[in-house]
Amino acid sequence: MMTPKPLSTSSNWGKWLLAAFLVSILIRGFLQIPEIRGRISPDFPWNDHIHQVRMEYGKVTEKLQRVEANLEKLKNDGRPQPLRMHLINKDVVSITRSLRFMDARLASLNTELAISLLQAPSIQRASLNLHLQEVKALQADCGNYHRNLQEVSQKAQYFQARLQTKPGRF
Amino acid sequence: MSWDLRKSDPLFLALLALVSFLLLYNLDYRPFWQDEAETACLARNVLKFGTPRAFDGINLISQEEGREAGADHLWRWSPWMQIYLTAGAFYLAQPSTAAGRLPFAVLGILCVCLTYLLIKRHFRDLLWARLAAALLGLSVPFLMYSRQCRYYSLATILVIGSLYAFRMDWQQRWGPALLLLISFGLLFHANYLLFFTYGAAFLAAAILLYHRELPVKRTLLLAAGVVLVVLQGTVFFQIQKQGGMFDLTRIASNLQCYFQDLFQFMAPLPVIGCLLLYWLWLAAFPGGRERLQADREARFTMFLGLIVLFNILIISLAPQGEHRYLIHLYPLCAMVLGWAVCRVAAYHKVSAVLLAFLLLFTNWLHLLPVTRLNIQLRPADNSPYMLTYPNFPLKLYLSELVYGYPDVNRNLIDFFQAQARPGDTIVTTYGDLPLQFYTSCVVFGGLQGRLPEAGELPKFVVKRWHTRWNRRYDLTKSEAFILGLRLAGDYEPLVLPFADEEFGNRADPYYHRFVPDAPPLNQLIIYRLRSYDDAKTIKHLQ
């Protein structure tokens, strides 16, 4: 029968497990650097830009929902709440900035992809076309968000004006 | 690895030469950006008036709508030490980019020396001392901040000075006690936000871990000394005026940003996690206190770790979550990480070599785990050639130093130096202070809130691509002013073939670009008054 031994920090498996973890970071990190990634996948620059826009899109969605919820609370409560107004204004500014970036990035991607599509060999066209469709879909979504932003901004401006002129009840 | 203190260390000297090169080479490769230009313009006014005046009769130095100075135009927003240091350099070598940055770069080199000496002298561990110095001196964010004409390296060296004095026999001898007092007193005059946050964190960590070594009488005496030094400054700089800027809604997001910054740029999450477990095991388990008392190195690194933690918790109350408020913690992180590598070396040499390589030359251990956990912070307008992406940071840093960068402020300065006449008026939505420093124009706008007289049209208008809002989330006055101009009718747009980036040479690793984007996302547009060649000022005809 085997005698149980206490777990020892000097055991070899622990040492090599640590080394293996560090080597895995080393390999994964090396494969992630832009020079290597660009060689492995020629679509890397497009993918990276589209990924950034998608991330920003997620943030904008979240903030728009938050602004709408805050406006609703403000309306139902009937009393001016400077702190809530402050949060709404902060989110509106942040959404405006994000949308401006997304518009510019998507327009730039659209142009670049369209040019690349004309010059690309037929084997790459399918994937470039796919990216272009994705960009166009995102541009359409951004258009909707611009309209949403305009609506919530108008409501926010209304409440802001009321807050400044009539500090009693809305 | 122990070493005779008197022996010179060729490896450290080689490291120091490398760090000196990295900090001093091509110091004026990019012009001052907005914050640096604020210090430089104030320093130039010191040479002119003897004191830092926010208004020189032509231009107003302000980024807070004129709140930084009173009716006497004396600068009261931030301490003067960085301004006088820059003024001294300007006095000796004429106002220039390199002269403004030089004293701070030299202080950066001294930070690396002092970090090395602290460990070598107090713990007599040469490997740890070398590693800590290398981790600090080769840290790209630290290098970038130290090359700025701003308080960053100044505050950092005072923080290391306080730790150095604390490890000496300050309880018995007056020299180290005085060094402790001077470090904290001067830290206030370098940046009082860092003084309050670091000071409180230092005190709390010292009480928790070194309470037996804090003699009540001398500690109170030192505290009283620091209070005396600080008190007049607190009144003079009207710190209470800035209390109104506190934004409680930002605390949670500040905390999140600071911790993400810590993991992404300063100390990787896996190492921090392991250290936390180790420290907890040391302190919380039966016999832990005795173990901690016996292990001086572990106790000191735990002390540093607690300072970092408390500092972040306290700084999150400040109105802005900025990486620059963590810069003085870089040496602390370097010392803790250096010690972690030493402990790993005692356990398994191969792993220690791998860990040291990852920490010194890559940012992979910092970024890959946070990416996997989906807590990575990348700005929206991002490039893979930034520190927010897996890279060899030193390679990026050297690329920028050697090949240069099409800096947005440089392009604007070059344009106005070539196209504008002395005394011409410029309204810009941002970057007004670099233009004030490098051109002879009257520069309005930016965040200063000062605008041309009603009815007077500026000769040049720079509507930057990135819109600016003030702290109340209203458009800044310059943005609103430009919206009211008839740009299409009265001005001729000049599109420059350069990107209109948000800041220029800002050192924040979250924003800093080392390699330009191709093609740029936007372009610089300067509007020139159509009747510019005919008249000096033209009344606006509606």
CA distances from B155 to A115, B20, B170, B363, B517 (A): 51, 19, 21, 25, 33
pLDDT above 90 as % of chain B = 80
Supply B432's token pair.
């007004």
The answer to whether B278 contacts chain A (CB < 8 Å) is no
Q: What average pLDDT is seen over chain B?
A: 92
The single-letter code of the amino acid at A64 is: L
Contact A15 B358 (CB under 8 A): no
Residues of B numbered 213-252 whose beta carbons fall under 8 angstroms of chain A's beta carbons: which are they? 247, 249
Q: B281, exposed or middle or buried, with CB in 10 Å at 0-12, 13-18, 19+?
A: exposed
pLDDT at A103 over 50: yes
What pLDDT does residue B249 have? 74
The answer to whether B533 contacts chain A (CB < 8 Å) is no
* Chain B residues closer than 8 Å to A83 by CB: 249
User: What are the φ/ψ torsions at residue B75 (nearest 5 degrees)?
Assistant: -70, 120
pTM of this prediction?
A: 0.92
Name every residue whose Cβ is closer than 8 Å to that of residue B50 and which is 6 or more positions away in sequence: none
pLDDT at B268 over 70: yes
> How far off is chain A from B359, nearest CA to CA, in Å?
11
In angstroms, the CA A121 to CA A132 distance is 16
Residue in chain A lying closest to B374 (CA): A55
Contact A15 B249 (CB under 8 A): no
Which range is least confidently modeled, A65-74, B110-119, B284-293? B284-293
pLDDT at B94 over 70: yes
- Give the mean model confidence (pLDDT) for residues B325-351: 97
CA distances from A58 to A64, A152, B202 (A): 10, 18, 40
In angstroms, the CA B364 to CA A79 distance is 51
What pLDDT does residue A120 have? 85
What pLDDT does residue A167 have? 52
What pLDDT does residue A152 have? 82
Contact A101 B380 (CB under 8 A): yes
Sign of torsion, CA B485 B487 B491 B495?
A: positive
pLDDT above 70 as % of chain B = 96
In angstroms, the CA B187 to CA B165 distance is 14
What pLDDT does residue B3 have? 53
What pLDDT does residue A71 have? 87
* Nearest CB neighbour to A26, from listed B358, B384, B473: B358
What pLDDT does residue A74 have? 81
What pLDDT does residue B192 have? 92
Residues of B numbered 88-117 whose beta carbons fall under 8 angstroms of chain A's beta carbons: which are they? none
Higher pLDDT, B291 or A135: A135
Per residue in B353-364, pLDDT tens? 999 999 999 999
What pLDDT does residue B535 have? 47
Higher pLDDT, B267 or A147: B267
Per residue in B396-407, pLDDT tens? 999 999 999 999
In angstroms, the CA B414 to CA B256 distance is 40
What pLDDT does residue A37 have? 93
* Nearest CB neighbour to A52, from listed B368, B382, B519: B382
pLDDT band, residue B5 (cuts 50/70/90): low
> How far off is chain A from B535, nearest CA to CA, in Å?
37
* Chain A residues closer than 8 Å to B469 by CB: 93
Name every residue whose Cβ is closer than 8 Å to that of residue B142 and which is 6 or more positions away in sequence: B108, B111, B136, B156, B327, B330
In angstroms, the CA A65 to CA A148 distance is 10
- Give the mean model confidence (pLDDT) for residues B248-266: 91
Per residue in B483-530, pLDDT tens? 999 999 999 999 999 999 999 999 999 999 999 987 888 899 999 999
What pLDDT does residue A143 have? 87
- Give the mean model confidence (pLDDT) for residues B131-137: 98
Q: Where are the alpha helices (DSSP H) in B265-392?
A: 269-284, 288-294, 296-315, 330-347, 349-361, 364-372
3-state SS assignment for residue B467: coil
* Chain B residues closer than 8 Å to A19 by CB: 348, 350-351, 354
Classify the complex by whether its ipTM is higher than 0.85, answering yes or no.
Answer: yes
Higher pLDDT, B145 or A52: B145
Per residue in B10-21, pLDDT tens? 999 999 999 999
> How far off is chain A from B351, nearest CA to CA, in Å?
5
Max distance between CA atoms of chain B, in angstroms, equals 86
> How far off is chain B from A1, nearest CA to CA, in Å?
31
- Give the mean model confidence (pLDDT) for residues A89-113: 91
pLDDT at B1 over 60: no
* Chain B residues closer than 8 Å to A26 by CB: 354, 357-358, 364
pLDDT at B147 over 80: yes
Per residue in A142-152, pLDDT tens? 888 888 888 88
* Chain A residues closer than 8 Å to B357 by CB: 26
What pLDDT does residue A165 have? 65
Contact B473 A89 (CB under 8 A): yes
β-pairing, B460-462 vs B491-495, is unpaired
Per residue in B113-133, pLDDT tens? 999 999 999 999 999 999 999
What pLDDT does residue B229 have? 86
The answer to whether B470 contacts chain A (CB < 8 Å) is no
Name every residue whose Cβ is closer than 8 Å to that of residue B305 and which is 6 or more positions away in sequence: B275, B276, B279, B336
- Give the mean model confidence (pLDDT) for residues B309-323: 92
What pLDDT does residue B232 have? 83
* Cβ atoms of residues A49 and A138 within 8 Å: no
pLDDT at A96 over 50: yes
Q: What average pLDDT is seen over chain A?
A: 84
- Give the mean model confidence (pLDDT) for residues B300-310: 97
